[in-house]
A and B are shown apart, each in its own frame.
Chain A
Amino acid sequence: VVEVGSLARVEGEGALHIRVSGDTIEDLRLEIYEPPRFFEAFLAGRHFTEVPDIVPRICGICPVAYQMSAIHGLERLFDVHVPEGTHELRRLLYLGEWIESHMLHVHLLAAPDFLGYESAIEMAAHERPALERGLAVKRLGNDLMAAIGGREIHPVSPQVGGFSKAPSSRELEAFLPRLEEAAERVLEVADWVGALPVPKFVRPAELVSMVNPLEYPINEGSIASSTGRSFDAITFEQNVHEVQVPHSNALHARLVDGDSYFVGPLARVNLNAGRLTPLAQEAARRSGLSLPTPDPFASMAARVTETALAVDESIRIVRDYRRPEPPMAKVHPRAGRAAWVTEAPRGILYHRYDVTDDGIIREAKIVPPTSQNLRHMEDDLRLFVPTILDRSDEDLTRLCEMVVRNYDPCISCATHFLTLDLARG
């Protein structure tokens, strides 16, 4: 939507309220709008075959994540055995989304802050070669999504049971030259990110991601934390409690017997450091990512590292690809509970569906990564703001934005951006 004239702020923007007395924070509240809550109601009463078409509409940046959590959960419930090759093709589709989302974040959202530009627009004029390089890698991710998903924004081919249409080997092989080029470019991006002046902010934190003994986790795996916690999707709601907080209509997630936790690329690289491919290890080294680290400001380097991993793995998948034949398995619905997590670009994305025996969704629950990080962002700010209270309001807003931006809160999963409401006493 393009907006004309002066209107009240649109839904989706974030607001940060801080009340300070002397050098003590008396109150700090971060508000973020959450559309997935609406979609939960929208899904109730729908046939399961409609779910893969509805859920990608929740987010324009990470539609595949929503499809993959839903599809895998429903397939597990219905005991579907997908055709050979489906796993790899879905992984490739999802890697495309990681590439697109991570490169967008690094180049247009995070880098202007770290380089001290007022906006991405101002940066574009001064950093054109770096932007061209990063956006070319991003576009490769978008194009992979379009080639496999049938459409870039709301992919149409992924279905419960497989794909309605799978690309040919030739279609995918056409990507090899671009992927090989991207493997070189992404290391240059790592050098660029490694040279940025990045603040340090280390504090104890519980990082949570999927783990998988066979591969860097995306679509399959269990959930683990940096403090040794371990559970799986089917017990997610016993391990993660969503609590209503008085100041926000967004629910705050916290771990049972614990507190706020941190999901996303930084959690993934920490908990899966041993599964980084050689190119990803090289990108980590060059971008200055030294593991383990709970420093949220290392998230940009984690994104570059994962982009390298995604490019590396995409090359392998494309080379070994055999089109699934037939592309879809037969699906017979049954009653029960489908629950699954996958690793969205921003962290674990939980879906749960209670289904009737004729495949109708009775109830849906979606916990996006941004809601899981919300409480952690607030906790970061509570610790960080007292260290920067001597700054001007303008500086303080910028630094708070950088803290929140580390989590890459999603366009429709969360904030558009911060309005700071600071009361100094």
Chain B
Amino acid sequence: VTGVLRLRVIGFGSFDAGDDAVGPLAVRAAKEQAETTGGLPGVEFVEAGPGIDVVDLLEGVDAVILVDAVRVPEGEGRPGRLVRLEVGPEGLPSELRTSMSSHGIGLAEGLAIARAMGRSPRVVFLGLQAWHERAGEPLSIPVAAALATLAGEIRLEARHLMDELASDRSADQGGDPDPSDPPVREPEEACPASGPPPHPPNLIVGAAAGHLVRGG
């Protein structure tokens, strides 16, 4: 891969369906935050709808951050909990199943189709545990309360990914990056004391092998 590094942040979900809106809303908030703090060059923010859209949104980028609501069996975890997964070639872990799908094709299936078609950017999944997805209702209170944390997490993740991609590329080029094509780096922004830590204690961190590890 040559040229400018590109990262696409994609929020999936529908509005007016309770916590299902968290993907696009968090991406919108992250975009607004990034714009007020000077932007994130090379990062594109997309509000998508159905998970199937991931098939063409995985094209032409070095990395993507997928943002969506997460359902867990009743009694597990708590609504508003942050979920982070590094998604390897095997796709989303089998215990992650999409619900809001078109004819059985949702985010997990869309991702698998994209992989089968040879689209292999680096993929990180970020989401919040949903409480409900009832039609016509806004975000639930615990999810709404965690929205800003998720947006902050998206920005941090985007920055880390861009840094890592830049250093991977410069390593590939023998540590001598092409001066005409400098890796995109943001000026370091001081992390506000009140801001979200990079990995809150209640974070679910998925192993690269694809197993969902429940934390918190």
Contacts and interface: CB of A to CB of B under 8 A. Distances in A.
Interface of A: 1-7, 10, 12, 35, 38-39, 41-42, 54, 57, 60-61, 63, 104, 108-109, 119-122, 124-125, 128, 131-132, 135, 138-139, 142, 151-154, 405, 411-412, 415-417
A41 B137 CA distance: 12
Interface stretch (B11-19, B155-163, B167-175, B182-190): B11-19
B20 to A, nearest CB: 5
Interface stretch (B33-41, B107-115, B145-153, B192-200): B107-115
A2 B103 contact: no
Contacts of A121: 109, 112-113, 116
Given A120-B109, A128-B116, A417-B104, 15 more contacts: A1-B19, A1-B69, A2-B99, A3-B98, A4-B73, A4-B76, A5-B72, A5-B73, A6-B73, A7-B74, A109-B103, A120-B105, A121-B109, A121-B113, A152-B46
A132 B102 contact: no
Nearest to B112: A121
A95 B77 CA distance: 44
Contacts of A12: 99-100
A330 B74 CA distance: 51
A3 B136 contact: no
Contacts of A104: 52, 102
B136 A42 contact: yes
B17 to A, nearest CB: 8
B117 A131 contact: yes
A39 B136 contact: yes
B116 A125 contact: yes
29 contacts: A1-B71, A2-B70, A2-B71, A2-B108, A3-B96, A5-B72, A5-B76, A7-B73, A12-B99, A35-B135, A54-B16, A57-B15, A61-B49, A63-B49, A108-B113, A109-B103, A120-B105, A121-B109, A121-B116, A124-B114, A132-B117, A142-B53, A153-B24, A154-B15, A405-B103, A411-B50, A416-B101, A417-B103, A417-B104
B117 A128 contact: yes
Contacts of A124: 112-114, 116-117
The 9 closest A-B pairs by CB, nearest first: A60-B49, A124-B116, A3-B71, A125-B116, A153-B49, A3-B97, A5-B73, A411-B102, A4-B72
B176 interface: no
A2 B98 contact: yes
Nearest to B101: A416
B179 interface: no
B144 interface: no
A260 to B, nearest CB: 22
A50 to B, nearest CB: 12
Interface residues of B, number: 53
B86 to A, nearest CB: 15
B118 A128 contact: yes
A4 B96 contact: yes
Contact of A135 (B55, B70, B95, B102): B55
B56 interface: yes
A204 to B, nearest CB: 28
B73 A2 contact: no
Contact of A61 (B47, B50, B55): B50
Given A4-B212, A5-B76, A135-B55, A151 B16 contact: no
Nearest to A153: B49
Interface string B1-40: 0000000000001111001100010000000000000000
Contacts of A7: 71, 73-74, 99
Nearest to A10: B99
Interface centre among B13, B103, B125 (most CB of A within 10 A): B103
A168 B104 CA distance: 39
Nearest to B136: A42
A120 B117 CA distance: 11
B215 to A, nearest CB: 13
A1 B113 contact: no
A124 B102 CA distance: 17
Contacts of A416: 101-104
B82 interface: no
A270 to B, nearest CB: 25
B92 interface: yes
A2 B135 contact: no
A119 B110 CA distance: 11
B69 A2 contact: yes
Contact of B97 (A4, A41, A57, A138): A4
Contact of B99 (A1, A60, A108, A138): A1
Interface centre among A121, A125, A142, A412 (most CB of B within 10 A): A121
Interface string B60-100: 00000000111111101000000000000000100111111
Given A5-B73, A35-B135, A153 B48 contact: yes
A119 B109 contact: yes
B95 A4 contact: yes
A121 B53 CA distance: 14
B127 interface: yes
B92 A2 contact: yes
Interface centre among A5, A6, A41, A154 (most CB of B within 10 A): A5
B154 interface: no
B130 interface: yes
A353 B127 CA distance: 38
A4 B55 contact: no
A188 B100 CA distance: 32
Contact of A60 (B14, B112, B135): B14
